[in-house]
Amino acid sequence: MSIRKLLMIPGPTPVARSIQDEMGRETVAFGDPAFVQDFKEVIEDMKEMWGAKQVYVVAGSGSLAMEMGIANTVARDEKILIASNGFFGDRFVDVIERKGIDFELMQAEWGTTVTPEMIDEKLQSGEFNAVTVTHVDTSTGVVAPVEEIGKMLNEKYPDVMYIVDGVCATSAEPEHLEDMHIDILISGSQKAFGVAPGLAFVWASQKALDKRASLGTIPEYFADFMKWTPIMDDPSKYYATPPVNLVWALQESLRLIKEEGLQNRYDRHRKMADAIQKALESYGFKILAQEGVRASTLSNIIYMDGVDDMKFRETMREEGAEVAGGLGDYAGKMFRWGHMGNIDEHDVVGGLAAIDRTLMRLGIDVEPGKAIGIFTKEYMK
């Protein structure tokens, strides 16, 4: 008998039934008045909930959002400081190099995070016009102090553009453009929003919009804010066909988030992550991210001696749970468990039970149910 597989990777994440139902609706014309109203509501909710002057909801992935964030706010003769916590922070290098923009890469040791002090030290030279920070890097499971960085930038470098990659954070880790002095926030539908892949999100502050206006014509076509702003202001207008059913799915996701409450959602993710990470450590695994900078959206788990990566992940798949492998220097040395969006205690317990069974099949000494008990005790505090 085949068993239902738990999706335990850092994205895409499980899609709740009510969100799936919206994707299964009969598609209508993008100019249908009822859909136009739904799209308007989505845009207004996204702006209000994350404190933005404008939001761009377009067909694409988080990688498109990264490119949009850079292309619309940094001129070719300017310089960017890339403050990286891992593989996906480093990805900004490729995006920026292809645009011919000068940059400097500042890398934190994997498992640690960049700090406001590190960024401040670099910016004192006066040569940088923008800073990119990845809020949660899925390669390391580290969460950056975006609020503290934003406060420092606002106080000391108010003209520097602050660009935050929230792909693996938004709607699970606290983010608010106005309160945190963020100018560009990027994300995607497939992670903490719990929607299927296919939507890119870019939130912009007034400062970012003013900067785009000052750039004039840019080489990008699909990624140009100027092409999309009229659509976001009035979705009855046409530029490129919106993914109708995904917009409906996002609308349902936002309804669920508002019903739970953003702060409650943040608290739930933090509480669940802490409990999961304690349970994982009880096996003898180690968490790559240091205590104090561990993300609430995923855990990056270093194997104990004697565990073969491929055998572990293949056996996990057979036991009904899909986990992701490590990246960079940690490829083959760890697995990554995403626990964001609309997962609940049942999913977590099922995941831990799959780890129990997998380790037992691999000949690793395990006390069945111990980790589940630790998770339950911690989560119920």
Extract the annotated binding site for substrate: 336
Binding-site residues, in ranges, read: 336
SS3 state at 203:
strand
Number of residues in the chain: 381
DSSP string, 62-95: HHHHHHHHHHTT--TT-EEEEEESSHHHHHHHHH
DSSP strand pairing (324-325 vs 334-338): antiparallel
Contact indicator for 240, 344 with CB cutoff of 8 Å: no
Distance separating alpha carbons of residues 319 and 317, to the nearest angstrom: 5
Neighbouring C-beta atoms of residue 181, cutoff 10 Å = 20
Strand (E) positions, 156-263? 161-165, 184-188, 199-204
Contact indicator for 253, 19 with CB cutoff of 8 Å: yes
Using only C-alpha atoms, what is the Rg of the chain?
21
Q: What are phi and psi of 145, to 5 degrees?
A: -80, 70
- 145 CB-contact burial (10 Å; exposed 0-12 / middle 13-18 / buried 19+): middle
Distance separating alpha carbons of residues 42 and 299, to the nearest angstrom: 30
Distance separating alpha carbons of residues 137 and 83, to the nearest angstrom: 11
Distance separating alpha carbons of residues 259 and 256, to the nearest angstrom: 5
SS3 state at 346:
helix
For residue 157, give the amino acid letter. Answer: Y
Contact indicator for 114, 144 with CB cutoff of 8 Å: yes
DSSP strand pairing (79-84 vs 130-134): parallel
